[in-house]
Structure 1
Amino acid sequence: MGKTAYKRLKGSQSFRQRLVLATLSSTPILIEDIRTDETWPGLQKHEVSLLRLLEKISDDCVVEINETGTKLKYKPGIIMGGKHLSHDCGVSRSIGYFLEPLLLLGLFGKKPLTIRLKGITNDPKDPSVDTFRSTTLPILKRFGVPSEGLDLKIESRGVPPNGGGEVVLAVPIVQSLTAVTWMDEGMVKRIRGVTFSARVSSQFENSMIHAARGVFNRLLPDVHIFTDHKAGPQAGNSPGYGISLVAETTSGCFISADTAISRARAEETSDFTDDEKKDLMPPENIGQQIAFSLLEEIEQGGVVDSTHQGLLFLLCALCPQDFSKIRVGKLSQHGIETLRNIREFLALKFVIKPDPNTGTVILKCIGSGLKNLSRKVS
């Protein structure tokens, strides 16, 4: 056995993407100086949880963390997939943080993946599970991922600080993805959405819907926002409410925006005593705010919203050695970091060309030709 050559990286940025790209390109990595200058140095709870999740879905994967958590060695194994898996995501980040890596890795597994994830389903930081269901899964289908076996069921809701939500994710396996030319964002033809409330009055949902519709109805008639009021065990462990909206266009693009409101996590409110904790934002304001956020995303142009840019670039990069061409709005910070990570791990560069007429950006690339070698050939 030769000595393993590790790719050396520094810092805590792009942690998820580095792990995903390292796994897909079978590149062992060594990350040093993880938050060395911060009060709480080293890996955070959700990052350790993500590493444990990777161990669950793959075989022969080696994770070594030093005592302070500031240095990580990760040697990827073979993605196995499998049924009846379960993972507690904890409450330091929501389930949305774990879903994107799972979707990308699950596609290239040996067997289809079915996994139950427990934790926070909706929070203001990560995309909600509703957005994954309404927007992320259709993006995967564009790249040739079969609809059969691709599913996300929301069994119970959970908001910060105590979570308590549960979802079941199913990801089919593919031999390889299909390259896309996806340039036309089309015109918005309808808006769909879902509000949820857990351990609070369902009236909150009506207020959010009313406020959001007040913004949209001046622009288009086809607006439907559904309610998902949870009670009892399905309502998780903390009170909260939220809304997820998605605009569907004439060319089959989905542009989304979402948020959720709940009491802040303990560490974020340590300065307050209980009676000083600020009141939650009223549902009317939430409905209106997210409606405007969605309009801003639509105005930016592009075939996906800013949250999904990173995923879109990764999918293009993982395609066969074929030509992909896509249009996005203004490049987000996350999108730019993704392009850097793709170059670092797959030695693949995108041609980036701004389109001054629309204020959008056109990106082209030849895929890296990733094939699923562990899949059983039927």
Structure 2
Amino acid sequence: MEKTIYKRLKGSQSFRQRLLLSTLSSTPILISEIRDDDMIPGLRPYEISLLRLFETVSDDCSVVINETGTQFKYKPGIIMGGKNLVHNCALSRSIGYYLEPLLVLGLFAKKPLSIRLRGVTNDAGDPSVDTFRSTTLRILTRFGVPKEGLDLKIEARGVAPGGGGEVLLTVPNVQSLTAVQWTDEGMVKRIRGTTFSTRVTRDFEHSMRYAARGIFNNLLPDVHISEDHKAGTQAGKSPGYGISLYAETTTECVISADTAVSYGRTDETGELDAEKEVRLPAEDTGVQIASWLLHEVEKGGVVDSTHQGLLFILCALCQQDVSKVRVGTLSPNGVETLRNIKEFLGVKFGIKPDTETGTVILTCVGSGLINLSRKLS
């Protein structure tokens, strides 16, 4: 039997991206020194849950974790996809943590992906399921992903600490991704959004909507924020509320911002998460997210800072043609993504600051990843 050669990495940073790029490039990895110096060393429950999710959508992949969780080996298998899959996400991170790598995996699977994810749908740390539905899925269609079969249904809301939310994600397969020339962010023409509340009064939603609209109505007339009050089994297991907003531009770009307010959760040490310490009244929450959305728009670029990493990965996976994109200030996650792409896919980006607009233009030649499991039409 041929001996497996592992790419050796250290630390817990970029865990999701390393797993994703390892799988797409069929590169076995061995990661060591994972939180060696922490009070509780090793992999966190949400990271182990992500590994199990990769096992769920793949065939013949191998995960070996040492006793302390400070080192593991991962050998990618074949991305299978499939229908009627179910995954219970760890409650220490929201479903958004799992969705980003899952979307990209699904594109290059053998069969269309249909999976039900259960856990926390909205929190202050990860992009909400609303943001994935309004913004992230649209970014994928820019790269030639068909709209048919690409969907995210929110069947129940769930906030920390109890969760209880549920979404149904469907992703079609592609043969390859199409390179993009995407540098014109356009002007904002409308703002849309959704507020939600679970196991609390609707008054929280009214306050958030009123406060957010108070800021936007001074700038443009086309503003609509809907309400999504949940009750009963659709309201999850914990009280909370939140807001997700997005701005659509004249060139079909979508810039988003969101947050959720709940009663916090404990971390692995038993200490209450900092999320509770920064809990804001509903009105202040509306003002904060409306202001943050305007800040993201002001930065410029065709995506917001949260989506930079995904944008760069999609460009790097495209057919062997030149992609050119514009972003605002490079985020720390965006910079780390560029390093990971170079390490796993060998794709280097040209980076050119645009001093006139304060934005950054990036160009690359895609790696030409082809879904060999998908038959040519």
What's the TM-score, normalizing by structure 1? 0.97
Correspondence 1:81 to 2:81: yes
Indicate the SS of the match to 2:170: strand
Partner of 1:246: 246
In the other structure, the counterpart of 1:362 is 361
Query: Which residue matches 1:295?
Result: 294
| 1:237 match | 237
Letter in 2 for 1:153: K
Please say if 1:30 is aligned against 2:55: no
Q: Partner of 1:189 in structure 2?
A: 189
CA contact (8 A) 1:110 1:376 kept: no
Matched, 1:96 2:96: yes
Q: How does 1:318-329 map to 2 (within 5 A)?
A: 318-329=317-328
- Partner residue, 1:110: 110
Q: Would the aligned equivalents of 1:81 and 1:111 in 2 still touch at CA under 8 Å?
A: yes
CA distance in 1, matches of 2:93, 2:72: 20
Distance 1:334 1:227 in 2: 31
Q: Is the 8 A contact 2:64 2:74 kept in 1?
A: yes
**Matched residues, number:** 374
Q: In the aligned structure 2, how far is the partner of 1:240 from the partner of 1:132?
A: 20
**Matches of 2:268 and 2:76, distance apart in 1:** 34
RMSD (Å), alpha carbons: 1.3
State the 1:94 CA deviation.
0.3
2:216 corresponds to which residue? 216
d(CA) in 2 for partners of 1:5, 1:128: 37
Indicate yes or no: 2:340 matched with 1:315.
no
Residue type at the aligned position of 1:331: L
Q: Distance between the aligned counterparts of 2:170 and 2:107, measured in 1? A: 10
| Equivalent residue number for residue 350 of structure 2 | 351
Q: SS of the counterpart of 2:50?
A: helix
- Mapped contact 2:40–2:268 kept (Cα < 8 A): no
- How much does 1:342 deviate? 0.1
Percent identity of the aligned residues? Answer: 73
Aligned residue number for residue 166 of structure 1: 166
- Aligned residue for 2:121? 121
Aligned counterpart, 2:373? 374
Structure 2 unpaired stretches of 5+: none
Q: Is the 8 A contact 2:175 2:376 kept in 1?
A: no
Relative to structure 1, the CA distance from residue 313 to residue 214 in structure 2 (aligned partners, 3 Å threshold; closer, same or farther) is same
The answer (yes or no) to whether the contact 1:157–1:198 under 8 Å persists in 2 is yes
Query: Do 2:187 and 2:250's aligned partners in 1 also have CA atoms closer than 8 Å?
Result: yes
The alignment partner of 1:266 has SS state of coil
- Secondary structure of 1:317's aligned partner: helix
Structure 2 partner of 1:56: 56
Q: TM-score, normalization: structure 2? A: 0.97
Tell me if 1:21 matches 2:21.
yes
Q: Deviations over 1:221-252 (max 9, x none)?
A: 00000000000010000000000000000000
Q: Distance in 2 between matches of 1:287 and 1:6?
A: 47
Per-residue deviation, residues 96-151 of structure 1 (Å, max 9, x unmatched)? 00000100000000000000000000000000000000000000000000000000
Residue 279 of structure 1: how far off its partner (Å):
9.2
Classify the secondary structure of the residue corresponding to 1:259. strand
Per the alignment, in what secondary structure is the counterpart of residue 221 of structure 1? coil
Counterparts of 2:138 and 2:35, CA distance in 1: 36
Take 1:42 and 1:279, find their aligned partners in 2: how far apart are those partners? 27
